[in-house]
Amino acid sequence: MDRIESTANPFIKELKKLKNKSDRYEKGLYLVEGENCVKELIAFKPEIIDCLLFTEKYENEFKGFKFYLVSQRIMESLCDTKTPQGIVALCRMEKQTNIYSPICIYLDNVKDPGNVGTIIRTADAAGMKTVILSKECADLYNSKTVRSTMGSMFHIDVFYEDEYLSQLKKLKNEGYTILTGSLQAEKSLYEYDFKKKTVICIGNEAHGISADLYRIGTENIKIPMPGNAESLNAGVAGSIIIYEAVRQLNG
């Protein structure tokens, strides 16, 4: 067992740099913190784990991985939560894949890590297998995004486009309907047939779906809003659409 006591340890200093997006992508590494997320990681994607770091609380719980026993002070320096649970995994980023399911989710420049994580978690709960992030979305490997997914990012395929709308254009050519949402749409969400191959597009929190995305979209729907609210949170809107698809597909 390797034990690290000092926050000045060179390895710990390198791990702290992973809080910066540029350092994460330069090294191809990121941190996963918290017991639930780490357990889901171990259960579904153990092959991407480089090592585990934990406090004495977890000393006898996790076996079969390279690990370091660290002080609570070190754990606090690595985690963004005020009271970290005491376990962190160092993981390797996965290469993008092109595995699609009959219904895919596309996030169009969704900026809030909490919204990105919530939609990934909802898609997973609904049994969907593919979430595509546009390049300007919140970083998947941001600690808040990772926590918000509650481990769902390890259950399904989540990846970034290399070029804006490139994946959507490819899917459209493969027969998918590109479904966009707008308050001005004539068709209600509940009139759409989710039994056909569909990409559900969820827009930016402030600006909604981009004009470029609308131009390649094939159908436009709206979520009925009989009340007085002007709009819905991106995560909430996405969840409503996803679960209408579940209702139609599963009854």
CATH topology of domain 103-250: Alpha/beta knot (3.40.1280)
- Three-state DSSP state, 158: strand
Tokens 């009340």 -> residue = 227
Q: What is the pLDDT of residue 1?
A: 62
Among the four given CATH numbers 2.40.50.100, 3.90.420.10, 3.30.1330.30, 3.60.15.10, the one describing domain 2-92: 3.30.1330.30
Q: Answer whether 137's CB lies under 8 Å from 160's CB.
A: yes
Say which amino acid occupies 81.
T
Q: Tokens for 82?
A: 């005020």
| pLDDT for the residue 64 | 83
CA distances from 143 to 162, 192, 216 (A): 22, 36, 33
Placement of tokens 């996803």 in the chain? 242
pLDDT in the model for residue 59? 80
* Average pLDDT per consecutive 10 residues, the chain (251 residues; last block may be shorter): 89 96 96 94 95 89 88 93 91 82 94 94 94 95 95 94 92 95 88 95 89 94 87 88 93 73
**Cα torsion angle, 204, 208, 209, 211, sign:** negative
pTM: 0.91
Cα dihedral value 56, 61, 63, 66, nearest 10: -30
Distance CA 116, CA 58 (A): 30
Burial of 250 (0-12, 13-18, 19+ CB in 10 A): exposed
- What are the residue ranges spanned by the domains of the chain? 2-92, 103-250
- Which pLDDT value is given to residue 108? 95
Give the span between the Cα atoms of 244 and 239, in whole angstroms: 9
For residue 186, the model assigns a pLDDT of: 87
